[in-house]
């Protein structure tokens, strides 16, 4: 399951530093001037999953394969991006290819790093970004609506659905609200997605703080958290500078560095997990001597849909799924004893997979 999260923000808020830390590379050029990132840099990152290590140890798996998410480092947006300012049109198109947006807000003061608006105000920064995305959506829909109206009046059922959804989106956009506030029925989700609205993408607010505020945040990140709560979104506090330093250390050095800072884990782990959760995702596991692997599915997926993530033939020919809850697998030290204890269940086509299920599929 290919999943992409756009890292979006004004220039010099720490997006590329964050991206470098996420991908453990220096692929994105982090420099103190706007538009140092011209092409979107893309990197796959593993979803932190301690349960996978536990399962692999029990099964003696030779290889561990975690779930992955792709992050895309989008060049800094500026005021007027919706009208093409600062290469805005190109950057906005890159966001449309993603499944969610991580809005990075600068919550640190550093006189050596310029701010494109010449002030430190994360809420104003977020307002600028959101406004530009809303203006881009408005322009896109208003260009389409006339042609869609003509088709709808001619009796085109698909156009009638599209027109209804366009009007549903235009109402909040014209009132200065993002399209994600619209509640869409399940049967309309595909057509809604086809509108490719920037502000309909799930959003996560990322407060990039100074090193001394990495554990609890600061007054600026508190403002961002309040804004996230008002928007019914999640927020996470990180120090991109700390995490970029952690990224080049070996595990033992990382542990020592984190302990010295009073941190339980890198901020990036929280960011990745929040992004995973934001997209309504969860993991199930397959475990054996060859490999222990996490597979990404949507919350609410049934056993055949979960099987289809491995191979489409598994879903088409699904017979049943041998399933063990993670806790039972660990407590009973593996599949054999779980089977003996009656904790291995044979689940059919209607079974809704739970996060952490250890599964083996039988298919025709």
Q: Which residues are annotated as a binding site?
A: 12-17
Which pLDDT does position 91 carry in this prediction? 65
Domains defined for the chain, CATH in brackets: 4-278 (3.40.50.300), 300-363 (3.10.20.30)
Which pLDDT does position 346 carry in this prediction? 96
Tens digit of each residue's pLDDT (9 = 90 or more) over 237-281: 999 989 888 888 888 888 899 888 888 888 888 888 888 888 889
| Cα separations in angstroms, 88 against 8, 55, 79, 211, 364 | 12, 46, 9, 31, 51
Helix (H) or strand (E) holding 72: strand 68-73
The dihedral over CA atoms of 178, 181, 185, 190, expressed in degrees to the nearest 10, equals 30
Please give the full DSSP string across 220-255, using - where no structure is assigned. Answer: HHHHHHHHHHHTT-EEEEE-HHHHHHHTTS-HHHHH
Which pLDDT does position 104 carry in this prediction? 93
Tens digit of each residue's pLDDT (9 = 90 or more) over 223-236: 999 999 888 788 99
Record the pTM. Answer: 0.82
Q: Which residues are annotated as a binding site for ATP?
A: 12-17
CA distance 208 to 195: 31
Tokens of 252: 């033992």
| Cα separations in angstroms, 84 against 58, 140, 145, 167, 279 | 55, 14, 22, 25, 29
Q: Which residues of the chain have pLDDT under 70?
A: 1-2, 24-40, 76-91, 111-118
Which pLDDT does position 145 carry in this prediction? 92
């Amino acid at each position: 399951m290919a999943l992409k999260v756009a890292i979006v923000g004004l220039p010099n808020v720490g997006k590329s530093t964050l991206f470098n830390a996420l991908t453990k590379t220096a692929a994105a050029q982090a420099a103190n001037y706007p538009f140092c990132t011209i092409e979107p840099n893309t990197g796959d990152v593993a979803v932190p999953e301690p349960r996978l290590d536990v399962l692999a140890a029990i099964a003696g798996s030779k290889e561990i394969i975690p779930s992955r998410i792709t992050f895309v480092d989008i060049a800094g947006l500026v005021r007027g991006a919706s009208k093409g300012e600062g290469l805005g049109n190109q950057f906005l198109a890159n966001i449309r290819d993603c499944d969610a947006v991580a809005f990075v807000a600068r919550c640190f003061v550093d006189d050596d790093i310029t701010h494109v608006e010449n002030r430190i105000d994360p809420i104003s920064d977020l307002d600028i970004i959101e406004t530009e995305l809303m203006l881009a959506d408005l322009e896109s829909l208003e260009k389409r609506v006339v042609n869609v109206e003509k088709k709808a009046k001619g009796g085109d059922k698909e156009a009638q659905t599209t027109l209804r959804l366009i009007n549903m989106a235009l109402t909040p956009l014209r009132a200065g609200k993002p399209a994600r506030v619209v509640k869409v029925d399940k049967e309309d989700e595909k057509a809604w997605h086809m509108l490719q609205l920037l502000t309909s993408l799930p959003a996560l607010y990322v407060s990039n703080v100074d090193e001394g505020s990495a554990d609890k945040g600061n007054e600026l990140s508190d403002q961002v958290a309040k804004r996230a709560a008002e928007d019914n979104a999640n927020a996470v506090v990180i120090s991109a500078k700390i995490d970029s330093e952690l990224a080049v250390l070996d595990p033992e050095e990382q542990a020592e560095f984190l302990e010295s800072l009073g941190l339980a884990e890198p901020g990036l782990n929280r960011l990745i997990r929040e992004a995973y959760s934001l997209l309504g995702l969860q993991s199930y596991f397959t475990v054996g001597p060859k490999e222990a692997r996490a597979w990404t599915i949507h919350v609410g997926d049934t056993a055949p849909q979960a099987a289809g993530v491995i191979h489409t033939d598994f879903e088409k020919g699904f017979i049943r799924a041998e399933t063990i809850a993670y806790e039972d697998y660990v407590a009973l030290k593996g599949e054999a004893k779980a089977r003996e204890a009656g904790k291995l269940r044979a689940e059919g086509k209607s079974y809704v997979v739970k996060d952490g299920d250890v599964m083996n599929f039988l298919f025709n």
